[in-house]
Amino acid sequence: MITALAGGVGAARFLQGLIKIVPKKELTVIVNTGDDIQLYGLHVSPDLDIIMYTLAEIVDKEKGWGIQRDTFHCLELLQKYGHETWFKLGDRDLATHIQRTLLLKSGLSLSEATSKLCRSLGLKVKLLPMTNDKFETHIKTGKDTIHFQEYLVKRGAQDKVIDVMFEGAEEAQPAPGVIDSILNADTIIVCPSNPIVSIGTILSVKGVRDGLRKTKAKVVAISPIVGGAPIKGPADKLMQGLGLEVSTYSVANLYRDFLDVFIIDNIDQAKKERVEELGLHTVTTNTIMKSLQDKIQLARVTLKSVESSSQI
């Protein structure tokens, strides 16, 4: 059994390759819910949806989020009614948020609602929200504290980051199956996602980090930082705001207490030795996923890396 820890677009692209080479039923994905936001009375779970749409092959491939060929008529009218419309929810995408909200209102947990949505879209992979409890990532900027989506989408990640806060982390319990899927896996893959607001959130949920330290599974991570910059998203700005060096080494250092293998890009070959000084077996390969072939190749190298690390 394979368990993956995932954020949004980078993770989804990697998982698209992985499901081509492993049976879908053997894969459980624990997904970040710190990006979740309430809009127009609806519960929006961006990372769960990005993974769900990508694996169901209905994602807008260019953007990496939302549904392909979606329209925005509902949002246009909401704007006429005076609502803020900076978060671009397409008409078909809205159906998911309406259905999720109805399921939650009927008393289902986010895990149960996610499982129903996935089944309706024909997904065989098991998606688990990291928690069913309220958990929101907030960014402390120079002038105020705002929801992560407001920082990222509304303000275009332009504010100076002073701190990153996980609202609800202290009370949030892991969703059912999260800890078991870590303890009972053969292999755990930390996807190439933002180490602070995608993986960092999952690691902050009670019992997750401990489970990763205790599990007998081999734990492998793929660096989301290539050549000193993130492939996508604001990881550099968030890491700088927290006083961290923006490098593949820095990500390895954040995961070192539970990691066996770290995969870095060929471009960072010269950094290999420094990462290995952390006690991690390090593998270099192409981690830039442009084609499906790139995704499959990275998934292959990732799985092979844990086989070879067992012999070290």
Q: Note the residues at the interface with ligand FO1 (CB under 6 A).
A: 7-8, 35, 46-47, 49-50, 65-66, 87-89, 93, 149, 152-153
Q: CB of residue 67 vs ligand FO1: minimum separation in angstroms?
A: 9
Here the tokens at position 153 are: 């989408």
Nearer to ligand FO1, 93 or 159 (CB): 93
Q: Which residue is nearest to ligand FO1 (CB)?
A: 8
Q: CB of residue 275 vs ligand FO1: minimum separation in angstroms?
A: 25
Nearer to ligand FO1, 46 or 192 (CB): 46
DSSP string, 30-96: EE--TT-EEETTEEE-HHHHHHHHHHTT-B-TTTSSSBTT---HHHHHHHHTT----S---HHHHHH
Nearer to ligand FO1, 1 or 153 (CB): 153
User: H or E segment at 284?
Assistant: strand 281-285
* Interatomic CA distance for residues 256 and 248, integer angstroms: 12
Q: CB of residue 46 vs ligand FO1: minimum separation in angstroms?
A: 4
Asked if residue 47 lies in contact with residue 32, where contact means CB atoms within 8 angstroms, the answer is: yes
CA 278, 182, 35, 167 torsion-angle sign: negative
Nearer to ligand FO1, 116 or 300 (CB): 116
Q: CB of residue 79 vs ligand FO1: minimum separation in angstroms?
A: 13
Q: CB of residue 39 vs ligand FO1: minimum separation in angstroms?
A: 9
Nearer to ligand FO1, 11 or 185 (CB): 11
DSSP string, 77-107: HHHHTT----S---HHHHHHHHHHHHHHHTT
Q: CB of residue 85 vs ligand FO1: minimum separation in angstroms?
A: 9
Q: How many helices (H) and strands (E) does the chain have?
A: 13, 14
Nearer to ligand FO1, 31 or 306 (CB): 31
C-alpha separations of 130 from 67, 145, 175, 265 in Å: 23, 23, 6, 28
